[in-house]
Amino acid sequence: MKLLLISNSTNAGEEYLRYPLPEIEKFLHGVKEVVFVPYAAVTFSYAAYEKKVQARLAEIGIRVKSVHRAKDPAKMVREAEAICVGGGNTFALTKKMQEQGLMKAILKKIKAGTPYVGWSAGSNVCCPTICTTNDMPILQPESFRAIGAIPFQINPHYLDANPEGHAGETREQRILEYIEANPKRWVVGLREGCILHYENEKLELIGKRPMRIFRKGVETHEVQAGDDLSFLFNK
């Protein structure tokens, strides 16, 4: 498998997809065209999303072809040179992907070695489920099941604290609830500006911030870029 799972598309004060672009370029070296899944877009059109991603990937010589234009989106995925899944609302993305049979089609391609790039919601759907998304369930998918290319859960945009004056649960408290209900699942809090890269059966953290690790019965702790992350594939 070849996976590039990005926490967020845009760092504060930067252009869209600017910070991960060098990693995307290295990861997709030699790729001329990607099939793009835009279905996390809600307040803007799929065509506008395709155009936005194309504008950035054109800088590294890659064409973007969105599945929303295909009569048979799953067939487009099956024929893809590489796959990109964009961020937005994870529930909207999951519902549409399930309806079009894209979860199974993408998993088969990933297992065959086709490169996969996802950011935010696009990283969430690479997990076994979408249960660790931060998004509001604005639409109801068939289930919470996702692609399942990796055996652990990602919480993208992971934050350590709530805004001042807010008395609700912290992100950590919500994840602790998840692992209480799902004691056999690892969860990683992937902070903004950070990326998980999996290739040649090795998982690595890219970024200047540590990643927070959660599992029932295991003390919550942090890992740094360069640390061994193979334990995340252990049941």
Report whether pLDDT(166) > 80.
no
Confidence of residue 25 (pLDDT cuts 50, 70, 90): very high
**Is there a catalytic annotation at residue 221?**
no
- Structural domains in the chain? 3-233 (3.40.50.880)
Largest CA distance in the chain: 50
Chain-centre distance of CA 3, in angstroms? Answer: 9
Instruction: Give the three-class secondary structure for 62.
Output: coil
Q: Cβ distance 73 to 97 under 8 Å? A: no
Report whether pLDDT(29) > 90.
yes
**Is there a catalytic annotation at residue 68?**
no
Write down the pTM of the prediction: 0.96
d(CA 64, CA 50): 7
CA-based nearest residue to 120, from 50, 195, 223, 27: 195
Which position among 135, 166, 197, 230 bears the catalytic label? Answer: 135
- According to DSSP, the β-strands at 195-199 and 116-119 are unpaired
pLDDT of residue 180: 97
CA-based nearest residue to 49, from 4, 81, 99, 86: 86
d(CA 151, CA 165): 36
Q: Cβ distance 53 to 64 under 8 Å? A: yes
Which position among 9, 66, 120, 123 bears the catalytic label? Answer: 120
d(CA 39, CA 99): 11
Confidence of residue 168 (pLDDT cuts 50, 70, 90): confident
**Is there a catalytic annotation at residue 45?**
no
